[in-house]
């Protein structure tokens, strides 16, 4: 009984981490990106958290050695998921609200389902899945409609930010689909550490090539935001996510996609006084309903 209670407490704590911490990272990005370039934020966030992941592997007596082929695959995944996704997200938050960014990225499972159904050997969609797919893109169009409708010279910043967010969502989806097809035998935690190290390193190379270090301003909000993203978002949140994948069904773990945009929107309204219109709220809830529909179609097929 004691062991069961301890296990349930660990599950609840880990879900709280990916629900609340990952939902709050959009707020931390908002503060960090004011004074630091996106590749610096994304690079340091992941590169500094990788050694701690390897330290956890050491305490669990897991070897962190991987083959050259696995290094290449981890680099590719890091490029799509930690450079293409996170760096574009941070860049977008220069011009769009944090809550809005979270809403657009809530559509990532929709992109994954579409790509996975198109690639050879991928999982096809049922009628319910296709219905969820079309519903999701309808929600995305609803969410973006106020931005697209009012395109002007004064509003191009948000349009550009919205394009970056769509690119970020697509990049994560591509990386996720590729990850399923890369046959790597190492422990997921070990591979996650290498992806963080290599993806973070790529971001730092980009930051150096762009001359971002000379323009960086290490203000208190920027440092605190970066520290939060590194310790809580990348290290604690990612470790909790990997642990849950080993102890809970993927469908249950995927529920973070429903909660994160709501947490981010509430924090944005509360602390940043961000405005949320009818289109934004409607689009978000339609997207979340579509994600649920797609996930239910997959659960039904597996069962």
Helix residue ranges per DSSP H, 17-85:
22-32, 38-47, 50-59, 68-78
Q: What is the mean pLDDT of residues 113-133?
A: 83
Burial class (CB in 10 A: 0-12, 13-18, 19+), 12: exposed
d(CA 139, CA 289): 9
d(CA 139, CA 282): 7
Q: Helix, strand, coil shares of the chain as percentages rounded to 5?
A: 80, 0, 20
Instruction: Indicate the domain borders of the chain.
Output: 2-302
Which of 37-51, 100-114, 210-224, 251-265 bottoms out in mean pLDDT, i.e. has the lowest? 251-265
Give the tens place of pLDDT for each residue, 55-78.
989 988 899 999 999 999 999 999
Using the predicted structure, report yes or no on whether residue 260 has a pLDDT greater than 70.
Answer: yes
Q: How many CB atoms lie within 10 A of CB 151?
A: 11
Q: What is the mean pLDDT of residues 234-258?
A: 80
pLDDT for the residue 241: 85
């Amino acid at each position: 009984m004691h062991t069961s209670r301890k296990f349930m407490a660990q599950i609840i704590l880990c879900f709280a981490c990916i629900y609340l911490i990952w939902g709050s990272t959009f707020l931390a990005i908002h503060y960090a990106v004011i004074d630091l370039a996106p590749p610096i934020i994304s690079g340091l966030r992941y590169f500094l958290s990788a050694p701690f992941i390897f330290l956890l592997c050491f305490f669990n007596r897991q070897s962190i050695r991987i083959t050259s082929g696995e290094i290449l695959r981890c680099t590719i995944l890091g490029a799509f998921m930690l450079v293409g996704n996170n760096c574009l997200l941070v860049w977008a938050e220069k011009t769009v609200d944090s809550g809005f960014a979270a809403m657009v990225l809530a559509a990532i499972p929709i992109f994954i389902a579409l790509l996975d159904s198109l690639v050879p050997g991928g999982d096809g969609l049922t009628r319910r899945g296709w219905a969820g797919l079309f519903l999701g893109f309808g929600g995305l169009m609803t969410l973006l409609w106020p931005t697209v409708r009012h395109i002007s010279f004064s509003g191009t910043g948000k349009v550009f930010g919205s394009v970056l967010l769509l690119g970020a969502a697509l990049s994560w989806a591509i990386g996720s689909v590729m990850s399923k097809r890369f046959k790597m035998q190492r422990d997921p935690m070990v591979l996650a550490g290498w992806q963080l190290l290599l993806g973070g390193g790529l971001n730092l190379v980009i930051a150096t090539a762009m001359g971002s270090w000379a323009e960086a301003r290490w203000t208190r909000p920027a440092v605190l935001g970066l520290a939060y993203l590194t310790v809580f978002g990348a290290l604690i949140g990612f470790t909790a996510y990997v642990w849950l994948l080993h102890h809970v069904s993927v469908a249950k773990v995927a529920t973070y996609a429903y909660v994160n945009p709501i947490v981010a929107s509430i924090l944005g309204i509360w602390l940043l006084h961000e405005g949320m219109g009818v289109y934004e709220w409607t689009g978000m809830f339609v997207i979340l309903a579509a994600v649920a529909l797609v996930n239910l179609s997959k659960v039904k097929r597996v069962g």
